Amino acid sequence: MAGHSHWANISAKKGVIDKKRGKLFGKLSRAIIVAAQSGGGDPTTNLRLRYAIDKAKKASMPKDNIDRAVKKGCGEAGGENYEELLYEGYGAAGVAVLCDILTENRNRTAGEIRKIFEVHNGNLGATGCVAWMFDRKGQFLVPVEGNDEEALFEIAVEAGAEDVREAGDSFEILCDPDLFDAVNAALEERGIETTSSDITRVPANTVELDATDGMKVLKLIDALEDQDDIQNVIANFNISDDIMEELAESM
């Protein structure tokens, strides 16, 4: 589906904007704290921590912030206890939305997120209402510019990737979560830089949105991502490049 702004590509572009909001480092710190709490403070033996640290480094998070978050997770600097939750709901046009949550107060978080959905033409659903529409995958985004699709496909598949496909101005590489490290290592060995690399959920099917519903869904996503306890938002929609350009001018 080349020529469309896939959610993966939209999400990566929005990540650049999120840095300007001043909240990204707080979310990244929270992810590092939880990773260290669950598997220890050594990224060589705690893959989840290594991925969280790598993501923080890609976002240019200072080393002192990273080290401080690791220490908090290990209980060395006033550790904080967070609960991991997955909230599910619907946006305009029936778009399925998943929210990865890290919170110290689930009741407060649930109320705030429910309100966000209601204000933006959606509704928070019950557990399991949309999660079945997504598959857990390792996902990498590589810029189209400066990279050859055929060569990238060969490198990725040889390392265990399932698919390489064009998504707007990026190539999207998908793999089994267990092979994330192998694919990541293969890309690094060849000097191929990624704009995004994560273990996430990928929609099995997508909803094509027009300008009206596209605006409603993007405003919902923006509001959810602005909520402090939400680490990541995933949704199953596509917006054509023409409509995306139109929306960008009005947002």
By the 10 Å C-beta count (0-12 exposed, 13-18 middle, 19+ buried), 145 is classed as exposed
- Say if residue 11 is in the same domain as residue 66: yes
- Say if residue 137 is in the same domain as residue 90: no
We report the CATH number of the domain holding residue 152 as 3.30.70.980
In a domain, 174, yes or no: yes
- Say if residue 28 is in the same domain as residue 8: yes
- Say if residue 9 is in the same domain as residue 24: yes
- Say if residue 35 is in the same domain as residue 144: no
**Distance between CA atoms of residues 15 and 12, nearest Å:** 5
The 10 Å CB-count burial string (b at 16+, else e) for 90-127 is bbbbebbbbbbbbbeeeeebbebbeebbeebbbebbee
- Say if residue 195 is in the same domain as residue 218: no
We report the CATH number of the domain holding residue 37 as 1.10.10.200
Structural element, H or E, at residue 87: strand 83-90
pLDDT for residue 95:
96
CB of 216 closer than 8 Å to CB of 203: no
Tokens (6 digits) for 28: 């990244």
In a domain, 51, yes or no: yes
In a domain, 78, yes or no: no
Q: What range defines the domain where residue 230 resides? A: 83-127+205-245
In a domain, 251, yes or no: no
pLDDT for residue 176:
96
**DSSP SS3 for 173:** strand
- Say if residue 121 is in the same domain as residue 220: yes
Structural element, H or E, at residue 21: none
- Say if residue 13 is in the same domain as residue 46: yes
In a domain, 213, yes or no: yes
- Say if residue 111 is in the same domain as residue 137: no
**Nearest 5 degrees, angle CA 9-CA 131-CA 16?**
25
Residue that is last in its domain, among 38, 54, 73? 73
- Say if residue 69 is in the same domain as residue 8: yes
In a domain, 109, yes or no: yes
Query: In total, how many domains does the chain have?
Result: 3
In a domain, 64, yes or no: yes
Tokens (6 digits) for 1: 């589906």
Tokens (6 digits) for 214: 């596209």
**DSSP SS3 for 207:** strand
pTM of the model: 0.85
In a domain, 52, yes or no: yes
- Say if residue 11 is in the same domain as residue 69: yes
- Say if residue 68 is in the same domain as residue 178: no
pLDDT tens for the chain, 251 residues: list them.
Answer: 333 446 666 666 555 555 555 678 889 999 999 999 989 999 999 989 999 999 899 888 999 999 999 999 988 766 678 899 999 999 999 999 999 999 999 999 999 999 999 999 999 999 999 999 999 999 999 999 999 999 999 999 999 999 998 887 889 999 999 999 999 999 999 999 998 888 999 999 999 999 999 999 999 998 999 999 999 999 999 888 788 777 776 66
